Structure 1
Amino acid sequence: MKVAVLGAGVVGVASAWYLARAGCEVTVIDRQPGEGLETSFANGGQIAVSHAEPWANPATPFKALSWLGREDAPLLFRLRADPALLCWSLRFLRECLPGRSRRNIRDIVRLADYSRECLRSLRASFAGDVPLEYDHLEKGILHFYTDEGEFRRARHAGSIMREFGCDRRLLSAEECVAIEPALRGCEHALVGGDYTRTDESGDAHIFTRRLAERCRGAGVRFRLGLPVASLCNEGDRISEVVLGDGQRIMADEFVVALGSYSPLLLRSLGVRVPVYPAKGYSATLSLAEGSIAPTVSLTDDGHKLVFSRLGSRLRIAGTAEFSGYDLSANPVRAAALLARTRTLFPGLRETGEPQMWCGLRPVTPSSVPLIGRSRYRNLWLNTGHGTLGWTMSCGSGAALADLVCRRRPAIDFPFLQ
């Protein structure tokens, strides 16, 4: 069976890997000249089952109102005449209801936990060969809080996650510092935290490139630097994909894993998906010798920032800006990210200038990704992973491969039918 995978980010490459493992003849197509050069390039680096609380939760509408007009707000909606954003926002508000938020936490935990196990199995499968190296650490993820109200609300969300199997252990401020001594510089401001020992961190871009190399070894073809112009259909089936230079590629099955750009391609086929781009920011710091920097991956929930140690680098990423497909960096938001980092870690020492980056996260109103068959019999979706694309990539790819091959996935999840 021939399968065309559209998208060479971490989700697309993982899909290609598991499809090839299932015996499919796979071609991956992407407009970029290499793998993982968009959303997967410089994200927060976390494999975070513990980050399962969706953006749409009962507290978010009130927070969003309090953040209006603040350029450095963790969540920034730019008021603009955008029907897609208006429609998405109305669905987002519905997902903020307590019952829906609880259901979405359940679904996110299930997929994220399954994906983490798939990643570990994948890593183990290469242990006797050339190891799959991507600056990964298995030190868990520590969420810390500097606001009592935020900590109280997080305890409630954490209790729901524990019901569904995510072990977020509550900690005092002193216990947070014991796990990550680099927090000692801001110990006076900490009110508590929670810790998930089984979570991990690593460089998603390096992982994507390394896995793409293994894909090539398994026979996967990559057609890079070629934008997808359109998909052609014959009745209820897709017949071919047309590339920007006019080339046509035929396949038996087609997988759309284009992240935030998935809706733009699909709408020409009459397929509407509730995915909207949320711009995130990151900074990568090269650490000087003697720098007091975290080695445990951290989440600063109040400011919506994550910190991951990637070898001799520190990656800081987070915030969300809803401003369409604009990739320009807002200097106020970038400066706020660095200022918070230096406040938390006064012992940080850097070499060179921070490497700043912006990327578009493909977010659904519920934060639950879209995985499964579209209205066309041979057109499959693997998109809408939001901030957890790296976390969910292997599990999403494995489940998608099962669906394409008409097998039942090993996970209970609301797949598209």
Structure 2
Amino acid sequence: MAKPTVTQPWRAPTAAGPVGAVVHLPGSKSVTNRALVLGALATGPSTLAAPLLARDSALMVAGLRALGAHVSTAADDRWVVRPGPLHAAGHIDVGVAGTVMRFLPPVAGLAAGVATFDGDPLARRRPLGPLIQALRAIGVRVEGAPGGVLPLTVHGTGEVHGGEVVIDASASSQLVSGLLLAGPRFARGITVRHLGPPVPAAPHLRMTVAMLRSAGAGVDDATPDVWSVAPGRLSGRGWEIEPDLSSALPFFAAALVTGGEVVLPGWPRSSMQPVEQLRGLLRRMGADVRLGTGGLTVRGTGRVHGLDADLSGLSELAPVLAAVAALADSPSTLRGIGHIRGHETDRLAVLARALGAVGAHVTELADGLRIAPRPLRGGVVDTDRDHRMAHAAAVIGLAVPGVELSDVACTSKTLPDFPALWSAMVEDVR
């Protein structure tokens, strides 16, 4: 019997002074995986320039291939998607990727055959119940595990009636996006009405709508909490994948906490990601943020301030912002993120535990965290195999010697080169 793999702790490098780096990052996971799905459902070929090369996108590619799409990834910087007759072919591994587990079951409903979905043990914590119920309401036969979680099986017939569904999407905006992306291929399209607490991560829903329209879909989102997609043809097209904002944030945080400067080249003037909201938050915490011809630049000013903010639309950024808050000169309250308890981990509990392991005073709230700065110390931070926890711990390590991550390999989910990029940035100031 093979011995289980033992992961060695990774010592986060400490910066001897202000960092100064130009960091080239891969494409956005959110844009990449939406473009892949739209390409698979289009009537002609699509290309993705500068797509994300990471586990989440590889799982999406594999899942779409299992459903009949032809995806060429031979060139790292240019993928080609050619739609084929949709047919389900056995098992689809979702890993722990929310986009894969929520975007592909509606596509599987359009495929002829049976598709089963399952993933890592952590994936079975992530809520799917509203999506399962919605698919059943529009005529898709779905078998799910008790509690509305993985594993699940979709019995596709090659067509989906569509129509109107009412769901509670307060656990994840992906529950809505998954239905909308496949909606143009449904016989009657799809209308999704949300009923419940506010839908989190609203910028990602706006991204879904914008990309659908760019592919030729008719989308009506004029009524709050109601999204309608008309039946019709999606056009194949070229997608320029912009850099990933969530992966960029740890590097921007490095500039802030060390009083240095980090430049992210290739940032578009008009972004589908919530860049303006992040710029505002970083400025409130003490950074100077500029978007120019050279890219998006963040400069630290030598001081880090606390933050009181509603992060309901920016929940992916919460772990790193919490780490910065632990190094601030005043208390912080991060609100509106109760739903991240259902992400890869219970992120509120894991964040409170991880920051507490290095001496931070963190109070866990029903919908967020309260962080009172005090002197920090080195120690081993349990990332709970969550890439965002690893990013947060690495930020702490810049200012606090002796911080070790229980697992840095989990960053391969969205940024496989993170350890090398991070170490190179810090080495430059030694």
TM class by smaller structure: under 0.3
Scaled by the length of structure 1, the TM-score of the pair is 0.28
| Higher RCO (Cα < 8 Å, 6 or more apart) | 1
